[in-house]
């Protein structure tokens, strides 16, 4: 049989930390925060959670973290010194000194590093990392992207595998993407660079120069198809 002591032992920190966390959880539940499995949640004294929010198992709220009302946090989130505004969903993700504005959705498996500022109703999805960057309202980075030292406007689409190449080996540089732009799959934006409003970046492009508003940029070599030659010892029937 699993005892309450066994459950408490799974929580991080000293026994005093665990007791303080449980007291904080009890107070939050009394204030209208839903914590269905309190033995699997850890909340430090500096963290605040507004009423109507749900904290699911594996949620860790560390440092000076604030969670707005009507959010859904977890399962399995580490949120430290970060702000999550009302109506957000954050699940299976790590947030460090980040801000998530109202109605945004983060996760699963996203990493918001210091300086990440996710706009209202934006989306940061599977295996997306954001560092020292702002994403405007309604912008989407659905999966497998790195966004570092970037200023991204509203309703921008960041395709899978897109990267802002912010570091030249010595200094960090800024990428600017204006409202309504579309960045295709596996595009590399070599900073410093500016992508204009409603511009389109073709999939697989390496962009090293500014792209004007409304333009389409192709930064890749042209595909060439040639007849295949048989390998040594291979007949045409084997090919």
Closest by Cα among 31, 26, 63 to 41: 26
Closest by Cα among 46, 128, 125, 41 to 82: 46
Contact (Cβ atoms closer than 8 angstroms) between residue 217 and residue 203: no
Domain 98-216 belongs to what architecture? 3 Solenoid (2.160)
- The catalytic residues are 143
User: What pLDDT, on a 0 to 100 scale, did the predictor assign at position 228?
Assistant: 83
Closest by Cα among 48, 52, 42, 49 to 20: 42
CATH number of 12-92: 2.160.10.10
User: What pLDDT, on a 0 to 100 scale, did the predictor assign at position 95?
Assistant: 98
User: What pLDDT, on a 0 to 100 scale, did the predictor assign at position 10?
Assistant: 44
User: What pLDDT, on a 0 to 100 scale, did the predictor assign at position 15?
Assistant: 63
User: What pLDDT, on a 0 to 100 scale, did the predictor assign at position 155?
Assistant: 98
Query: How distant is the alpha carbon of residue 69 from its chain centre?
Result: 20
139 three-class SS: coil
Please report, for the chain, the start and end positions of each structural domain, with discontinuous segments joined by +. Answer: 12-92, 98-216
Structure tokens at 234: 């291979």
230 three-class SS: coil
C-alpha 1/C-alpha 7 separation (Å) is: 11
C-alpha 21/C-alpha 128 separation (Å) is: 30
Residue segments in the chain with a per-residue pLDDT below the cut of 50: 1-4, 6-11
Closest by Cα among 126, 123, 63 to 89: 123
Q: What is the pTM of this model?
A: 0.88
- Say if 12-92 and 98-216 have the same CATH topology: yes
User: What are 201's strand-pairing partners?
Assistant: 183, 217
């Amino acid at each position: 049989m699993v005892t309450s002591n066994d459950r408490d032992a799974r929580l991080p920190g000293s026994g005093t930390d665990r007791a303080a966390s449980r007291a904080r959880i009890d107070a939050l539940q009394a204030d209208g925060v839903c914590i269905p499995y309190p033995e699997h949640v850890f909340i430090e004294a500096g963290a605040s959670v507004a009423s109507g929010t749900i904290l699911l198992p594996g949620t860790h709220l560390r440092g000076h973290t604030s969670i707005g009302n009507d959010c859904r946090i977890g399962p399995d989130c580490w949120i430290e010194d970060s702000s999550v505004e009302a109506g957000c969903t954050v699940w299976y993700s790590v947030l460090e000194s980040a801000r998530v504005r109202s109605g945004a959705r983060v996760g699963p498996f996203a990493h918001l590093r210091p300086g990440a500022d996710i706009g209202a109703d934006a989306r940061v999805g599977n295996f997306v990392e954001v560092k020292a960057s702002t994403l405007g309202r309604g912008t989407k980075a659905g999966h497998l992207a790195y966004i570092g030292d970037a200023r991204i406007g509203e309703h921008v689409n960041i395709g899978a595998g897109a990267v802002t190449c912010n570091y030249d080996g010595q200094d960090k540089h800024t990428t600017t993407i204006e409202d309504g732009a579309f960045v295709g799959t596996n595009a590399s934006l070599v900073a410093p660079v500016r992508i204009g409003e409603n511009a389109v970046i073709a999939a697989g492009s390496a962009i090293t120069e500014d792209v004007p508003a409304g333009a389409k940029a192709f930064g890749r070599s042209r595909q060439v198809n040639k007849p295949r030659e048989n390998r040594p010892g291979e007949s045409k029937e084997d090919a």
